């Protein structure tokens, strides 16, 4: 019973937030609604006794990813309201709603036809079974670092590639004007000469001016 109430509470939070993300005119409001949705998903994870994932959901999504979104929104200054009435492609919005609704209908039909839930078979290995006595975080740790060790290391490579990609994409390359300034003709400026090379000459010049 308590499970049921928590589930519907979480589902209401999720759906209200999801509709808010899509309908909010301001990108900042969308980001805040996204946090609401992600916290609702964490509630649903707790109902399903996936406590580790609930914690990770809050730390990684609400704590890191949405903050990154907000950073970019503020950095670019695109936090002004978007006119949702503009339709560059005629009939885009009704078509999108129809497509979304048909997607939903298809998915729900599949779910309701298979009312017995998952038709597969769980692993017979006690190491993978969720109800074999140890907490879910210990269970995930044991399986992740044995059976899925290679995949885990590949995600490490993926993260590294992602970071390098972000740096390469956002690095500011010199513009054409700046490149012209670096032409060899303009390279012999005094400031670029070796340090101290012109000191004596400069001192002489100052002396001459003084006399």
Partner 1 sequence: MILAELALTPPYYLVLSALMFAIGATGLLIRRNPLVMFMCVELMLNGVNISFVAFGADLNDVGGQISVFFVLVVAAVEVVVGLALVVAINRRRADATADDVSLLRG
The DSSP letter of residue 195 is T
Residues whose CB is less than 8 angstroms from the CB of residue 51 and which lie 6 or more positions away in sequence, other chains included: 45, 135, 136, 137
**Alpha-carbon distance 69 to 165, whole Å?**
17
Q: Shortest distance, CB of residue 22 to partner 1, whole angstroms? A: 3
**Alpha-carbon distance 179 to 56, whole Å?**
46
> Is the Cβ of residue 159 or residue 203 nearer to partner 1 in the bound state?
159
> Is the Cβ of residue 86 or residue 210 nearer to partner 1 in the bound state?
86
Contact flag: residue 67 with partner 1 (CB under 8 A): no
Q: Shortest distance, CB of residue 152 to partner 1, whole angstroms? A: 8
Contact flag: residue 189 with partner 1 (CB under 8 A): no
3-class DSSP state of 209? helix
Name the token pair of 75.
């950095």
Q: Shortest distance, CB of residue 183 to partner 1, whole angstroms? A: 25
**Alpha-carbon distance 65 to 71, whole Å?**
10
Name which of residues 69 to 108 contact partner 1 (CB under 8 A). 69, 72-73, 75-76, 78, 82, 84, 86, 88-89, 92-93, 95-97, 99-101, 103-104, 107-108
Name the token pair of 77.
């200054």
Taking residue 42's Cβ as centre, other Cβ atoms within 10 Å add up to 23
Q: Shortest distance, CB of residue 43 to partner 1, whole angstroms? A: 11
Contact flag: residue 178 with partner 1 (CB under 8 A): no
Q: Shortest distance, CB of residue 177 to partner 1, whole angstroms? A: 15
**Alpha-carbon distance 188 to 151, whole Å?**
55
Name which of residues 122 to 151 contact partner 1 (CB under 8 A). 122-123, 128-131, 136, 139-140, 143-144, 148, 151
Binding residues for partner 1, total number by CB under 8 A: 87
**Is the CB of residue 36 less than 8 Å from the CB of residue 78?**
no
């Amino acid at each position: 019973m308590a499970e049921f109430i928590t589930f519907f509470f979480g589902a209401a939070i999720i759906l209200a937030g999801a509709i808010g993300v899509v309908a909010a005119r301001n990108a900042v409001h969308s980001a805040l609604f996204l946090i609401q949705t992600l916290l609702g998903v964490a509630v649903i994870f707790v109902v399903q006794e996936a406590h580790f994932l609930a914690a990770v959901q809050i730390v990684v999504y609400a704590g890191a990813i949405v903050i990154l979104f907000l950073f970019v929104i503020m950095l670019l200054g695109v936090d002004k309201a978007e006119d949702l009435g503009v339709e560059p492609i005629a009939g885009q919005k009704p078509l999108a709603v129809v497509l979304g609704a048909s997607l939903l209908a298809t998915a729900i039909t599949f779910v309701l036809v298979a009312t017995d839930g998952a038709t597969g078979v769980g692993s017979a290995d006690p190491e993978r079974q969720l109800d074999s006595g140890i907490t879910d975080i210990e269970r995930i740790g044991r399986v992740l670092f044995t059976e899925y060790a290679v995949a885990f290391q590949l995600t490490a490579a993926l993260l590294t590639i992602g970071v390098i990609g972000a740096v390469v994409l956002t690095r500011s390359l010199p513009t054409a004007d700046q490149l012209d300034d670096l032409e060899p003709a303009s390279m012999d400026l005094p400031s670029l000469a070796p340090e101290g090379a012109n000191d004596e000459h400069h001192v002489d010049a100052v002396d001459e001016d003084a006399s």
